[in-house]
Amino acid sequence: MNTIENNPPARTVASTQSEMTELILPNDTNVLGNLLGGRLMHFIDLTAAMAAYRHARTYIVTAAMDHIDFIRPVHLGDLVTLRSSVNRAFSTSMEVGVKVWAENTQTGEQLHVASAYLVFVAIDKQGHRKTVPQLIPETPNELRRHADALLRREHREAEAARRKLEKQAHAGQSDTTHSKF
């Protein structure tokens, strides 16, 4: 069920920008002393949620983390900084982009280590979906991300439709198999 609000006020991308910095400790790492991928995904989910909250100003749930690139490892003792902003608002969902940098505390060198796209859906306290405000992209980069987010949504929908057909085909096959017995 969808709760339609009358024109919630549009917000700029800048008003959604969020940032988090973490010092990587032994508990965050694998046996090689590198940051665990799952831990990084947790940081990404949190930082992305901050941007989605700032846009929707209601409860949100993660619907998908559909693209993540781990470009290079993060080491024990590094400072990891994650920056997020909403790329595009749809009806009740929003795509958020997150970019991650690792900083060597001894040299100050900063490297881009990961990027990810997530989709959040806005809901009310009862779990009913809520319309999100429109997003206003202003800079050339924001306009590019806004356009790319629509292409990713189309790709996501096509992929979901493909998976649904595949599932139906498998279900059909197993029905045939079962009918033999």
Ligand X SMILES: CC(C)(COP(=O)(O)OP(=O)(O)OC[C@H]1O[C@@H](n2cnc3c(N)ncnc32)[C@H](O)[C@@H]1OP(=O)(O)O)[C@@H](O)C(=O)NCCC(=O)NCCS
Q: C-alpha distances in angstroms, 100 versus 12, 63, 109, 174?
A: 22, 21, 14, 44
Which C-beta is closer to ligand X: that of 41 or that of 111? 41
Measured from each CB, the residue nearest to ligand X is 90
DSSP 85-137: EEEEE-SSEEEEEEEEEEE-TTT--EEEEEEEEEEEEEE-TTS-EEPPPPEE-
Question: Residue 151 CB, nearest distance to ligand X (Å)?
Answer: 14
Report the interface residues with ligand X, using CB under 6 A.
61-64, 90-93, 119, 121, 129, 156
Question: Residue 123 CB, nearest distance to ligand X (Å)?
Answer: 6
Which C-beta is closer to ligand X: that of 39 or that of 156? 156
Which C-beta is closer to ligand X: that of 3 or that of 15? 3
The tokens describing 161, both together, are 């439709």
Q: Measured between alpha carbons, how far is 39 from 37 in angstroms, rounded to an integer?
A: 5
Question: Residue 143 CB, nearest distance to ligand X (Å)?
Answer: 20
Question: Residue 11 CB, nearest distance to ligand X (Å)?
Answer: 16
Which C-beta is closer to ligand X: that of 80 or that of 119? 119
Question: Residue 38 CB, nearest distance to ligand X (Å)?
Answer: 12
Are 50 and 16 in contact, with CB atoms under 8 Å apart? no
Which C-beta is closer to ligand X: that of 91 or that of 141? 91
**9: Cα separation from own chain's centroid:** 23
Q: Measured between alpha carbons, how far is 140 from 34 in angstroms, rounded to an integer?
A: 35
